[in-house]
Structure 1
Amino acid sequence: MIAILLSTYNGARFLPEQLESFERQTDDAWRIVWRDDGSTDDTRSIMAAFAARIGDHRCRETASSGTHLGAAQSFLSLLPEAADADAVAFADQDDVWLPDKLARARDALKAAGNQAMLYCARQYLVDEHLQGHNLSILPGDKPGFPASLTQNIVHGNTMVMNRAAADLVARIPGPPGTVHDWWSYIVITACGGLVVIDPKPVVLYRQHRANLIGSPPSTLARAVAALRRGPGIFMTMMRRHVTQLAAHTEYLTDQARADIARIGDGLRGGVAPRSRALRCPGLKRQTELENMLFRLWFMIG
């Protein structure tokens, strides 16, 4: 059974289409575990009607509904609620899943056996009317650690984690300000898990004004967006991610522990320790332009 983890917040406008897309899945061995993050529109009544139609055993609201946690912590708080599921899939309220999304994820996860694995895929970037169908960026370099500290290349609305991966993420709380998909990617790679990126798109990802993050249409646009944001937010989150991993080293691989120690020394030190940290194999972003920007920010931030 795959648990679909759905966090809702004032999503009444697009939520019905997403719920319909769940029902169109060719793999129907799923159930929804959801919490509302403090909606003031008709979101909760839409969910209640849906649960009444398909059955409470297939659509369960958590007791923590109503308190506003923010998207990332709301999603992460759902992980312990699905501890009996074979796999968990994060679901945004405003997207539309293509019919084979869960089936492709389940097939990919079978290859992991008992090893932790995170599956994610490309998306079709569409407008609020589901028009456009531009493909999201396919990463050139393989996902891994410590590259995961520098850049999130997994799409949370396509993610499915097997039981071992979900348990790892549930054990290490995400720091304040993190994003649930990025934190999952960091934890799983730091703990020696696998990440597979399906080149086939499995989600219609709405791009609209209320998007929490959105997706850039090209690597150049991604670099320009990072440049506009500046180093402050990025370096703050890198410090928080490194500090949180350093507090839970019992779960990390030996290499990840060594990398975290070296990167932590760099973040706390001057030019020499920062230069040593940047020599950690794999501590880089996807493109040369982005990597130049990252190295500059790491040295001065």
Structure 2
Amino acid sequence: MSFDRALIPEAQRPPLPGLARRVGPKHVTIVMATFNGGWTIDAQLTSIARQSHTDWSLIVSDDGSTDDTVARVQRFAALHPERKIITLRGPGKGAAMNFLSLLRAAGGAAYLAFADQDDYWLPDRLSRGLAALDGLDRPAIYGSRTVIADHDLTPLRLSPAFVRPTGFRNALVQNVAGGNTMLLNRKALDLLQPASSRIDRLIAHDWWAYQLVTAAGGEMILDPRPSLLYRQHGANQVGANDTTRARIARIGAVLNGRFAGWIDVQYAALDAARDAMTPEARVTFDAARTVRRHGALGRLAGLWRTGLYRQTGPGSLALWGAALIGRL
């Protein structure tokens, strides 16, 4: 384990030993962005150690924790000396930008799994993702449902199941899988790693990954089975979105323009990688951006023509409502 790298700015770091090259056809590089997660991280690390797929390494990027988060990672590494476990200093620009820095730190990883500091992975979290991605010769992301749990990891309910097809027209207005469930193949990393270096602001790294991979003709695979316990607590950056309170909050985000602001940031990041899009995706993307500048009737007609859609009925109503009132 190397902690001296935490003092080195990202641009000046030498390649990570053993991680900058491809280490095996099924090796998974797990990347975890942390910040003041000392009270939850032990459970997450334990669940990683208990994975049925045992060929993995771990990179932790800490964004300046003032608690014992890094010390707990260090103790975990000492208990698993056979593992490559490395801690870096994060960029200090929020979780999304921290995860982008981790994408680059993973180098030539065969597969990459995002990990949050406060979840608990089910034992087959990695093995099921690998099985889903096996043999795909295009950029692809695996994602799944979650078991929503309370702050003590007591299971509460399953996250919603999305049944409409995934794709770029959906990705432009909705994320369908939390990054904490995602596994990315090498083709996806070849796309996302260079693109991540062109971004200086982002709302959600997982949403951006879904957008860019599908824009480039890749695939988003949704597993209807859960792969982890998704812990809910007051410090969650993004909580479960299936409660009445969460639905009301989403309506509020549309009405006050915050949703439109999120779209602005995500589209700017996506535009920085438009050279990677298929011709069809570029046409759709440009049309989606143009629609936002029209009057109410033009926005509604344009939304219909572009075919943008969300996964659920209430979500679709919110999308059309946002277009109607100029908050798209």
Q: 2:211 aligns with which of 173, 179, 186?
A: 186
The residue that corresponds to 1:49 in the other structure is 75
Task: Tell me the percent identity.
Answer: 35
Report deviation, 1:179.
0.7
Secondary structure of 1:32's counterpart equals strand
Contact kept in structure 2, 1:38 and 1:68, CA below 8 Å: yes
Contact kept in structure 2, 1:263 and 1:274, CA below 8 Å: no
The residue that corresponds to 2:163 in the other structure is 140
Q: 1:285 aligns with which of 310, 318, 327?
A: 310
Q: 1:203 aligns with which of 214, 225, 228?
A: 228
Do residues 16 (structure 1) and 16 (structure 2) align? no
Contact kept in structure 2, 1:3 and 1:30, CA below 8 Å: yes
Q: 1:61 aligns with which of 62, 67, 87?
A: 87
Q: Which runs of 5+ in 2 are unaligned?
A: 1-26
Q: Deviations over 1:121-158 (max 9, x none)?
A: 11111111111241110112111112111111111111
Report deviation, 1:240.
2.6
Distance 1:66 1:85 in 2: 19
Secondary structure of 1:244's counterpart equals helix
Do residues 265 (structure 1) and 290 (structure 2) align? yes
Q: 1:36 aligns with which of 53, 62, 65?
A: 62
Report deviation, 1:239.
2.4
Distance 2:216 2:290 in 1: 20
The residue that corresponds to 2:195 in the other structure is 172
Worse-matched range after superposition: 166-175 or 231-240 = 166-175
Q: 2:99 aligns with which of 75, 78, 90?
A: 75
From the superposition, tell whether residues 44 and 243 of structure 1 become closer, same or farther in structure 2 (CA, over 3 Å): closer
The residue that corresponds to 2:108 in the other structure is 84
Worse-matched range after superposition: 274-283 or 125-134 = 274-283
From the superposition, tell whether residues 272 and 244 of structure 1 become closer, same or farther in structure 2 (CA, over 3 Å): farther
Aligned length: 297
Q: Which runs of 5+ in 1 are unaligned?
A: none
Task: With the length of structure 2 as denominator, give the TM-score of the two structures.
Answer: 0.85
Task: Read off the aligned partner of 1:255 and give its amino acid letter.
Answer: E
Q: Deviations over 1:66-107 (max 9, x none)?
A: 542211110111011112211100000011101011000111
From the superposition, tell whether residues 245 and 273 of structure 1 become closer, same or farther in structure 2 (CA, over 3 Å): farther
- After superposition, the CA RMSD in angstroms is 1.9
Q: Please list every run of at least 4 consecutive aligned residues from structure 1 whose deviation after the TM superposition is greater than 6 angstroms.
A: none
Distance 2:33 2:59 in 1: 9
